[in-house]
Amino acid sequence: GENVEQHPSTLSVQEGDSAVIKCTYSDSASNYFPWYKQELGKRPQLIIDIRSNVGEKKDQRIAVTLNKTAKHFSLHITETQPEDSAVYFCAAITLSGGYNKLIFGAGTRLAVHP
Amino acid sequence: DTGVSQDPRHKITKRGQNVTFRCDPISEHNRLYWYRQTLGQGPEFLTYFQNEAQLEKSRLLSDRFSAERPKGSFSTLEIQRTEQGDSAMYLCASSNPNEQYFGPGTRLTVT
C-alpha cells in the first residue's frame, strides 16, 4: 500500500538557522503533498502544500520542493524562530481514482533553541 | 469560529462501553475525513465521506467502528464495545476539494 517515510524524527537547531525535513513516498500516482505543523495538544495545521505540476513553492520563511522522479519532497524553514518548535508532518494524497486519503509520515519534532 | 469543530474534546470510558463522537465540518466543505492519531505518530486514515456517501474505509476500521454523515453535513463516529487499544486522538478533517483542515480532535481514554 501507500507509504510515506519522513526524516529526521527529531531535529534541533539554533534560532536563525535553517531546518530541512525530507519525505519520500511510494505511490507514483500521488500528486498533492501538504505539510502540517502540530503544536502540543493542538490540531494539525496546514502550513504549505505543493502539487505535482510544480517543483518548488515558497511562502515567506517556508518552502517546499518536489522531485517527482525520485519521489522525494522536502520542507525548508529559514531563519528559524522558537515559535517554529513543533512536530511537522508531511503527507501525500492521490486526487483521482477514488483515493482521497492523506498518508502521513511519522513526523519530525523540531526544536528551535534561542 | 468557522473552522472544523468536534465534540466532545475529551472522553473517558470504561472498556466495553460504546462511545460516539461528532464532527461539524467547515460549512461549504463536501468532503469529510476521520483519522486516528496515537502519541508520537502521524494521523492514520479511517474513513472518508463525499457529501453523505461513505466512499472509503480503512482496514483499520473494524466492525466495532461505524461512521455516518446522514445529511451531508455533520458526521458521527461510533465505537462499540471499546477496548483499551482504542485509546487515541480521533481527528476529523474537511475539504473542498483538496486542502484538508483538521478539527481539534476528541481524545478517547479507555480504562
Each residue's pLDDT tens digit, B52-87: 999 888 887 889 999 999 988 999 999 999 999 999
Pick from B40, B45, B101: which is nearest to A46 by CB? B101
The C-alpha of B41 sits at a distance from chain A's nearest C-alpha, in angstroms, of: 5
Beta strands A10-14 and A108-113: pairing type? Answer: parallel
The C-alpha of A66 sits at a distance from chain B's nearest C-alpha, in angstroms, of: 18
pLDDT band at B103 (very low <50, low <70, confident <90, very high): very high
The alpha carbon dihedral of B85, B87, B89, B95 has a sign of: positive
pLDDT (tens digit per residue) in A11-62: 999 999 999 999 999 988 888 999 999 999 899 999 999 998 889 999 999 9
Q: Residue A1 carries which DSSP code? A: -
Cross-chain Cβ contact A100/B33 below 8 Å: yes
pLDDT band at A1 (very low <50, low <70, confident <90, very high): low
Is the Cβ–Cβ distance between A92 and A50 less than 8 Å? no
Pick from A34, A89, A102: which is nearest to B45 by CB? A102
CA distance B36 to B6: 13
SS percent in chain B: helix, strand, coil, step 5: 5, 50, 45
